[in-house]
Amino acid sequence: MANILDKIFADKKEELVGTQSSRPLSELKTRIKSRHKPKPVIPALRDGKGSRIIAEIKRRTPFKGELVENFDAEAIARDYADHGAAAISILTESIHFGGDLDYLDRISFEVSIPIIRKDFIFAEYQVYEARAFGADFFLLIATSLDKNQLCDLKALGAELGMPALIETHDEADLEKAFYAESDLIGINNRDLTSGKTDLNITRRLLKMVKATGDPTLVCESGIKGREEIEEFERAGVHSFLIGETLMRAESIPDKLCELLGHEKTA
């Protein structure tokens, strides 16, 4: 039986047929030529003092529905950039998450920190699309891609100046990331087939990652408080991708400051 992740990818593949027809690859390549070079990603996610949070802009989810009233992607991005986020994640999937590539495009001109396109990417066209609309790096979900797809899409991103954040959820996913020689690995604590989160996934997989070298490591999903960030930093995590906790906060700036260990805004 198909799960929600399979459904999202199936819908994305169907949608992409129309997208490629209305916006040919040649148009994307022309847009890329007019773009500034991608911002440095790895230094933003692991260098310097203090905690590093990839703050996510996500309108809704298939599991929780609408996350924020009076959604304003650009205003949220400015709050993130002004209050200490190391990078911004923008959900661009439209059917299930209410995202839009236009959010990515507009925000890319407004903030000086790196932006990741977070979507369900399986085709080279989507990698070109990410760069054409202003992404500095992009997400690849190991669970839904084979190891050769990961390598090919990661390599194309590198040609365009964008590293790929390879998202893993279990040991099999990590093996794919290692095969692709990824130096930027995410551990997603959320089971994308059910929506459930379990921070023990990061606790378990960290040992496997640390035994293989020193990739830049991102903990994704399920982080709600400062104590969890401090625990995982001590264990070797470099950065944290946080969406729902921020999007559902009464004050996004105050919640971001709390997670970073800073005083609240005035």
DSSP per-residue string spanning 101-157: HHHHHHHHTT-SS-EEEES---SHHHHHHHHHTT-SEEEEEGGGS-HHHHHHHHHHH
Distance (Å, whole) CA 124 – CA 111: 26
DSSP 3-state helix, strand, coil percentages of the chain (rounded to 5)? Answer: 45, 15, 40
Catalytic residue, from 39, 118, 154, 255: name it: 118
| Residue 25 lies inside a defined structural domain of this protein | yes
The pLDDT of residue 199 is 96
- Who's near 8: CB < 8 A, 6+ residues apart? 62, 93, 95, 96, 120
| CA nearest neighbour of 58 among 105, 12, 88, 97 | 97
| Residue 26 lies inside a defined structural domain of this protein | yes
The pLDDT of residue 2 is 61
The β-bridge relationship of strands 65-66 and 137-141 is unpaired
Task: Give the containing element (helix H, strand E) for 167.
Answer: strand 164-168
220 is catalytic: yes
239 is catalytic: no
Q: Which residues of 246-264 are buried (b: 16+ CB within 10 A; e: fewer)?
A: bbeeeebbbbbbbbbebee
| CA nearest neighbour of 38 among 153, 163, 167, 122 | 163
How many structural domains is the chain composed of?
1
| Residue 10 lies inside a defined structural domain of this protein | yes
221 is catalytic: yes
Distance (Å, whole) CA 128 – CA 131: 5
**How does pLDDT run along the chain (266 residues), one tens digit per residue?**
468 888 999 999 999 999 999 999 999 999 999 999 999 999 999 988 899 999 999 999 888 888 988 899 999 999 999 999 999 999 999 999 999 999 999 999 999 999 999 999 999 999 999 999 999 999 999 999 999 999 999 999 999 999 999 999 999 999 999 999 999 999 999 988 778 899 999 999 999 998 888 999 999 999 999 999 999 999 999 999 999 999 999 999 999 999 999 876 55
118 is catalytic: yes
58 is catalytic: yes
| Residue 265 lies inside a defined structural domain of this protein | no
167 is catalytic: yes
Catalytic residue, from 176, 220, 239, 255: name it: 220
Range of the domain at 60: 4-32+41-260
| Residue 208 lies inside a defined structural domain of this protein | yes
Distance (Å, whole) CA 202 – CA 218: 10
| Residue 162 lies inside a defined structural domain of this protein | yes
Catalytic residue, from 221, 239, 244, 255: name it: 221
The CATH number of whichever domain residue 49 belongs to comes to: 3.20.20.70
| Residue 266 lies inside a defined structural domain of this protein | no
The pLDDT of residue 1 is 41
